């Protein structure tokens, strides 16, 4: 089996797995004052410190959540004022505020800075901007520094969804007023993430109860998850040199095997682990099934929670027609990917191209 769906979720890093296995031996509730409780508190706080160190922020700025979805919700739901979200956000940001204004993107999926500035100029109440650092479907990187500059000019809060950016970009994290991360996108376990708040902002307390996480997120902490996320961040392994080589080979060979392809975001800054490509005339489901039958796991656009394939709102916002977008495939790779995996993927693509052209020829002569 070949796994080429790292943007959906990554394999667990051995360092994270071992740290989690070790954490199972900690019995205490981190809120308990006795020795067992204190020991559990210590490993929980160690996980927090590992994150704080990686992002160069104070440990108290890190709030553990169940993932990026919850963290995005905490920021967006609590904001009292005008909310602006880019058209290419993940659903966990795009679908939260019905009153949000959509910031348009260009044909590469990059936020149109002039439009953002115009929107902020016209906004008379406090403003919150939500921008996805790296798009989960295309891998396109937003110009976060420029966006931050504009936000500062207009005194707006910038929240960054960094779920797909960790380990793949070199942002100066401590400059961002707030951002969200998700452990399973960088080798940690699923179901744990964090909201990191460097600026001051009113948060929506989604889960009330005890005083955990500085009363921002009640409930006994997910110690195993926090420990796994801390260990994963300390050993995060996206090797951009190796991955860029894979990206180059993959995109060159897939394009030359099939004249009818479109690669999304190819001309702008992208992370090196993502290829978003459409084989025109062949529906994503057909491509997905073909790869699956060849023991290769890839994805069509975003992995939907329902498992259904729908036309991508990201590609739509980039001006891609539904006809083309329904043929889009996302191939995403990482530290366990080998050159052989990439070669097998290219070979499977070539078989699909051949079968499709044979089908078309048959139809032609029928
Ligand atoms: N934002 C982005 C950019 C993502 O890729 C994802 C996961 N697909 C999420 C948010 C949601 O993350 P989680 O699974 O941790 O809720």
Does residue 303 register a pLDDT over 50? Answer: no
Contact 337, 344 (CB under 8 A): no
How many whole angstroms from 88 Cα to the centroid of ligand 1?
Answer: 13
Q: Does 304 qualify as catalytic in the annotation? A: yes
> Which one of 67, 85, 304 would you pick to mutate in the ligand 1 pocket, going by the greatest count of ligand atoms within 8 A of its CB?
67
Mean pLDDT of 253-260: 93
> Which one of 85, 163, 274 would you pick to mutate in the ligand 1 pocket, going by the greatest count of ligand atoms within 8 A of its CB?
163
Q: Whose CA is nearest to atom 10 of ligand 1?
A: 68
- Locate the ligand 1 atom nearest the alpha carbon of residue 132 and give its number: 3
112-166 pLDDT per residue, tens: 999 999 999 999 889 999 999 999 999 999 999 999 999 999 999 999 999 999 9
First to last CA, the chain: 37
Mean pLDDT of 351-358: 89
Does residue 177 register a pLDDT over 70? Answer: yes
Q: Is the CB of 69 under 6 A from ligand 1?
A: yes
Calpha distance 362→273 (Å, rounded): 37
Mean pLDDT of 210-237: 96
Does residue 366 register a pLDDT over 70? Answer: no
Q: What would you measure as the largest C-alpha separation in the chain, in angstroms?
A: 81
57-100 pLDDT per residue, tens: 999 999 999 999 999 999 999 899 999 999 999 999 999 999 99
Any idea what DSSP says for residue 202? -
Its pTM stands at 0.96
Q: Which residues make Cβ contacts (< 8 Å) with residue 90, sequence separation at least 6?
A: 68, 72, 132, 136, 161, 163, 302
Q: Is the CB of 189 under 6 A from ligand 1?
A: no
**Tokens for 23?**
């954490």
Confidence of residue 307 (pLDDT cuts 50, 70, 90): low
Does residue 199 register a pLDDT over 70? Answer: yes
Q: Is the CB of 65 under 6 A from ligand 1?
A: no
Of 200, 163, 165, which is closest to residue 183 (Cα–Cα)?
163
Q: Whose CA is nearest to atom 5 of ligand 1?
A: 136
| Domains assigned to the chain | 2-8+238-365 (3.90.1150.10), 14-233 (3.40.640.10)
- 279: three-class secondary structure by DSSP: strand
CA distances (Å), origin 184, targets 4, 48, 54, 69, 229? 15, 16, 16, 12, 8
Give the least confident one: 89-98, 227-236, 257-266, 297-306. Answer: 297-306
Contact 336, 246 (CB under 8 A): no
Phi, psi for residue 158 in degrees, rounded to 5: -100, 120
Q: Whose CA is nearest to atom 4 of ligand 1?
A: 163
Of 130, 151, 304, 345, catalytic:
304
């Amino acid at each position: 089996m070949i796994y080429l769906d790292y943007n959906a979720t990554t394999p667990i890093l051995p360092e994270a797995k071992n740290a989690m296995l070790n954490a199972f031996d900690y019995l205490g509730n981190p809120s308990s004052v006795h020795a067992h409780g204190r020991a559990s508190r210590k490993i929980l706080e160690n996980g927090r410190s590992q994150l704080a160190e990686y992002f160069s922020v104070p440990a108290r700025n890190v709030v553990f959540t169940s993932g990026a979805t919850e963290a995005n919700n905490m920021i967006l739901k609590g904001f009292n004022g005008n909310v602006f979200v880019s058209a290419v956000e993940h659903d966990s940001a795009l679908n939260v505020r019905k009153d949000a204004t959509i910031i348009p993107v260009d044909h590469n999926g990059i936020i149109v800075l002039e439009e953002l500035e115009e929107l902020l100029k016209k906004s008379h109440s406090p403003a919150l901007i939500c921008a996805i650092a790296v798009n989960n479907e295309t891998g396109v990187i937003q110009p976060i520094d420029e966006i931050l500059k504009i936000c500062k000019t207009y005194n707006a809060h910038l929240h960054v969804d960094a779920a797909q950016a960790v380990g793949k970009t070199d942002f100066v994290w401590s400059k961002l007023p707030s951002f969200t991360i998700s452990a399973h996108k960088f080798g940690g376990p699923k179901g744990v993430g964090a909201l990191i708040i460097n600026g001051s902002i009113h948060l929506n307390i989604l889960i009330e109860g005890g005083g955990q996480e500085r009363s921002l997120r009640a409930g006994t902490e997910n110690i195993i998850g926090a420990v796994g996320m801390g260990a994963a961040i300390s050993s995060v392994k996206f090797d951009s040199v190796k991955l860029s080589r894979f990206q180059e080979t993959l995109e060159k060979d897939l394009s030359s095997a099939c004249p009818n392809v479109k690669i999304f975001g190819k001309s702008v800054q992208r992370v090196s682990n993502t290829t978003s490509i459409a084989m025109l005339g062949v529906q994503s489901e057909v491509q997905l099934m073909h790869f699956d039958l060849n023991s290769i796991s890839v994805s069509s656009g975003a992995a939907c929670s329902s498992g259904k394939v729908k036309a991508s709102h990201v590609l739509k916002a980039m001006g891609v027609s539904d006809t083309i977008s329904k043929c889009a495939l996302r191939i995403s790779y990482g530290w366990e990917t080998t050159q052989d995996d990439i070669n097998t993927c290219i070979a499977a693509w070539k078989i699909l191209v051949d079968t499709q052209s044979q089908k078309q020829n048959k139809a032609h002569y029928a």
